Amino acid sequence: MDRNVKRLFVFVLCAAVVGFAVFGWLTISATVSASALPAHTPNIANGLTTFNAGGCSSCHATPAQPDRTRLGGGLPIPSPFGTFYVPNISPDPADGIGRWSEADFVTALLKGTSPTGTHYFPAFPYSSYQHANIEDARDLFAYLKTLPPVSGRAPAHNVPFPFDIRRNLGIWKLLFLDGKPFAPDAGHSAQWNRGSYLVNALGHCAECHSPRNLLGGIVEKQRFAGGPNPEGEGWVPNITQKGLADWTEKDLSYFLETGQTPEGDTAGGSMARVIRNTSQLSAEDRTAMALYLKSLPAVDGPPRPPKKKG
């Protein structure tokens, strides 16, 4: 073999080794260790509030049955990247999270990492949950353990190559996660900050009410400005003042309680599942969410396609 060819081969080989090493380092799964969790007395009542604010039952409740505390999963979530199936998060030790440690749960919620160290797909909205308080996450885990165990596992995700390579999600997280807990804004009231926390962290409202880029990340300049339904059908409304200018705080609070709009319409689709959760929140929390949402400046969303003529 020619000496120059050998040198080129060695260079390419070394570059590949270095490249794989850098990729491996950049895509390491983040975790929360048990030693990082100080002594904590669970607050089950706060766990229930977190459960409702976080909309856990909207996705994780077993479909086609009325009990929103039976968290057997199985709901299909279509997306441009494939179809995801929501997992069982009941306390079942075989099929749910009954064998998880508290650190496993906190890691899943705040870091998007499974107990085995693999990245979860961001159909699980950890890009919002990452901002939740650890205390709320721990209380939520304690509450979930009080719910009935449900046997049965959800189907495997139907995600084609290359989107099924979970290691690549480490790069996605570098692009779209900052890992910062919610920080109150001293320029606003405690009520406004509570609303911001519920909307941005636990409620993960931006996950549906924002347009997304080609990589599936939220377009931050149009956060809350609506866009195509990420599940593939319909259009999610703009909830900045561009879309809610005619709504009052009272209108919004009432909508979060009943699903009734000022025009007399009723929330449908996935929003109806959301209302079943927000209706369980305290009036104070719904009012705080309404106050925060009404403070959002008007932002133009992506152009809505014209309705098809029937």
Measured in degrees and rounded to the nearest 5, phi and psi for residue 44 equal -65, -35
Q: What is the pLDDT of residue 286?
A: 97
| pLDDT band (50, 70, 90) for residue 17 | low
Among the listed residues 168, 160, 180, the one whose alpha carbon sits nearest the alpha carbon of residue 215: 168
Q: Which residue in 112, 103, 104, 105 sits closest to 130, CA to CA? A: 112
pLDDT average, residue stretch 171-176: 89
> What integer pLDDT is reported at residue 292 of this predicted model?
97
Q: 29-83, pLDDT tens digit by residue?
A: 678 888 889 999 999 999 999 999 999 999 999 998 889 999 999 999 888 888 9
Question: What average pLDDT does range 93-109 have in this prediction?
Answer: 96
Q: Which residues are CB-contacts of 46 (< 8 A; sequence separation ≥ 6)?
A: 135, 136, 139
CA atoms within 13 A on the CB side of 170: 15
Pick 162 or 193 by higher pLDDT.
193
pLDDT in tens, 261-305: 888 788 877 888 899 999 999 999 999 999 999 999 999 888 877
- Write down the pTM of the prediction: 0.89
Tokens for 211, please give them. Answer: 């347009």
Tens of pLDDT, residues 120-154: 999 999 999 999 999 999 999 999 999 999 999 99
Over residues 180-197, the pLDDT tens digits come to 899 999 999 999 999 999
